[in-house]
């Protein structure tokens, strides 16, 4: 008789369980304090109890852990300098959704050569997250594979659901059970209703099929996530301007959801031109300075070296500290832009939030 299942599966092998991986790479006391304090601080920002803004900044994706850690060391210093105005979270994106094909991230292909050593990739990702949190710098990521939060979630302080997956029931269910606040991006076409519906869906309890810490299939029941927010990332046109923010605020109100909006200064809002992220950031800072309390944060794509580069056939020939996915601004521009943004807000709002720094406990 002919086979009826797995007819297109080439091979399978057992993967390390989440419990085993956490035993190999446990959370340090410093990292635990960083995650706990930052999650609580972001929740306070979303409840409007902390007047600072969330600043999620870092590489479009991480392909070189050494360069990522160097970036984190620099960002930690800058984060402390501007902590009276911004709670800085480093982008630590290890999974990349692709429109068609391409490199799918460090976890999927850590060797950058289509060898797809996922066991190695997930270990590299967890080790780097631990190192960054040990610095006292929190991390944020995009949740793509619904199994990955069991492996990495205890080292993440903030999560995004991407434009391609915000409409996915699987990702809405997953978001309802995540331990972090979650931002939902508008659709790639700019659709706002997709993100609002996702935020509403994730705020309610769900039951779905997942895995437990031992890696076994498990029926997962969630409580719902009350700390969702919309991320405006542009689409066919930019949507960071005040009229779009107002429309989003109205849509959230009509859905009986809190008016919490983050602006992604990259992607459709910058027309994928990294240099234009500064224009977007300046506009958003102006809106905040004028008193728009619905704007709770911003995102920037930034790396050590500006621009991006093709992966090519020789990973050893890559420029150190430069993105192999979306183009980023370089470090000098990152420091200048964030410092200027903090100075602008400081001149309007003062420094009354300085005492609320959640990282103080781990400095």
- Taking only the tens place, the pLDDT of each residue in 105-131 is 999 999 999 999 999 999 999 999 999
In this prediction, residue 351 carries a pLDDT of 66
Please spell the DSSP secondary structure of 277-301, one letter per residue.
HHHHHHHHHHHHHTT-TTEEEEEEE
In this prediction, residue 303 carries a pLDDT of 98
In this prediction, residue 356 carries a pLDDT of 40
* Residue 133 CB-half CA count within 13 A: 31
Please spell the DSSP secondary structure of 51-118, one letter per residue.
--EEEEEE-SS---HHHHHHHHHHHHHHHHHTTTTEEEEEE-------SSSS---TTT-TTSSS---H
- Averages of pLDDT over runs of 10 residues in the chain (363 residues) are 86 94 98 98 98 98 98 98 98 85 91 95 98 98 96 98 96 98 96 97 97 97 98 97 98 98 97 96 97 97 98 94 97 98 92 44 32
Q: d(Cα 86, Cα 88) in Å, to the nearest integer?
A: 6
In this prediction, residue 17 carries a pLDDT of 97
Q: Residue 161: which of 180, 145, 181, 184 has the closest Cα? A: 184
CATH no. of 18-362? 3.20.20.70
- Report the share of the chain in percent with pLDDT over 90: 91
Contacts 24+ apart (CB under 8 A), 203-207: 203/176, 203/228, 203/257, 204/176, 205/176, 206/172, 206/173, 206/176, 206/177
Residue showing tokens 């890559």: 318
Spatial contact of 245 and 261, defined as CB atoms under 8 Å apart: yes
Q: Residue 185: which of 268, 106, 302, 257 has the closest Cα? A: 268
In this prediction, residue 2 carries a pLDDT of 72
Helix (H, G, I), strand (E, B) or coil at 231: strand
| pTM for the predicted model, two decimal places | 0.94
In this prediction, residue 99 carries a pLDDT of 66
In this prediction, residue 96 carries a pLDDT of 82
**Integer Rg of the chain from CA:** 20
């Amino acid at each position: 008789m002919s086979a009826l299942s797995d007819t297109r599966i080439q091979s399978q092998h057992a993967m390390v369980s989440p419990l085993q991986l956490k035993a190999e790479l446990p959370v340090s006391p410093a990292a635990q304090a960083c995650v706990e304090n930052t999650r609580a601080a972001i929740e306070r920002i979303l409840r409007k109890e902390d007047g600072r803004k969330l600043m999620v900044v870092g590489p479009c994706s991480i392909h070189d852990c050494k360069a990522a850690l160097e970036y984190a060391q620099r960002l930690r210093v800058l984060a402390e300098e501007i902590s009276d105005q911004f709670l800085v979270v480093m982008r630590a994106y290890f999974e990349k959704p692709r429109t068609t094909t391409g490199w799918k991230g460090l976890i999927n292909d850590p060797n950058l050569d289509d060898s797809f050593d996922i066991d190695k990739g997930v270990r590299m990702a967890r080790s780097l997250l631990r190192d960054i949190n040990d610095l006292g710098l929190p991390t944020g990521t995009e949740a793509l594979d619904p199994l990955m939060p069991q492996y990495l979630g205890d080292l993440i302080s903030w999560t995004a659901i991407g434009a391609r997956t915000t409409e996915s029931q699987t990702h809405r269910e997953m978001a309802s059970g995540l331990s972090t606040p979650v931002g939902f991006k508008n659709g790639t076409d700019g659709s706002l209703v997709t993100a609002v519906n996702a935020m509403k869906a994730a705020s309610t309890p769900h039951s779905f099929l997942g895995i437990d810490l031992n890696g076994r299939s498990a029926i997962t029941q969630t409580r719902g996530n009350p700390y969702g927010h919309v991320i405006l990332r542009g689409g066919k046109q930019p949507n960071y301007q005040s009229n779009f923010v107002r429309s989003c605020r109205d849509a959230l109100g009509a859905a009986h959801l809190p008016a919490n909006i983050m602006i992604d200064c990259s992607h459709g809002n910058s027309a994928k031109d990294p240099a234009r992220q500064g224009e977007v950031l300046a506009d958003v800072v102006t809106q905040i300075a004028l008193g728009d309390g619905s704007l709770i944060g911003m995102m920037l794509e930034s790396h050590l070296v500006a621009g991006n580069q093709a992966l090519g056939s020789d990973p050893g020939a890559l420029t150190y500290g430069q993105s192999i996915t979306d183009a980023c601004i370089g470090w000098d521009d990152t420091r200048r832009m964030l410092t200027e943004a903090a100075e602008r807000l400081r001149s309007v709002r003062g420094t009354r939030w300085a005492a609320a720094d959640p990282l103080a406990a781990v400095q």
